[in-house]
Amino acid sequence: MKTRKSMAVVILIGTVVLLLAACGAKTAGLGDLPVFPGSTELKAGDSRIAETLAKNNEQDASMRRAMGAGGQTEQRGFSLPADTTWDKVKTYYETELKSRGWASGLGGIAGGMVDVNAMMNTANQANDLFQTMIFSKGKQTLTIILTVSPTDASQKTLIQSLSTR
């Protein structure tokens, strides 16, 4: 009986420590995220995609201010080496993000009920031009998107979209 109480106390203390650590966890910024090897960040003024992503960031911030809502969504893009494949991107981000505490999928209650990345894998197999996966950590969700130009398969772009609640 005494052993059960001791074990319960240890589990309770461990749970409290984990919850406190999670509450105090710092949210990631785009600069904290891993960058696929050999990629080059796209810059506004040099890339229409980068300009679009910058406008997306501005519009998100403006809408949230107007609605009095917190949080934010930030995006950035990268050009990828011509030989980059979806499998390489997927493996890289699964390894890098999981080692940094990110989980595959949406997280939370919904993420426990639906494996969104399994559903996306099915869609990804049917489309070589647009592939995506989602990771979550605390109050953040990261979407990784790989696009391939329909007119030149060597032109590949990776987009990171980081949302914080």
Higher pLDDT, 128 or 95: 95
User: Tens of pLDDT along 108-118?
Assistant: 555 555 565 55
User: Tens of pLDDT along 136-156?
Assistant: 999 999 999 999 999 999 999
CB contact at 8 A, 158 and 39: yes
User: Tens of pLDDT along 118-131?
Assistant: 556 555 566 789 89
Phi, psi angle pair for 70, to nearest 5°: -90, -175
Is pLDDT at 46 greater than 50 in this prediction? yes
Which pLDDT does position 26 carry in this prediction?
81
Long-range contacts, 144-149 (Cβ 8 Å, 24+): 144/89, 144/93, 146/80, 146/84, 146/86, 146/89
CA triple 95-26-120, angle to 5 deg: 40
User: Tens of pLDDT along 51-94?
Assistant: 888 888 888 888 878 888 878 899 999 999 999 999 999 999 99
Which pLDDT does position 59 carry in this prediction?
87
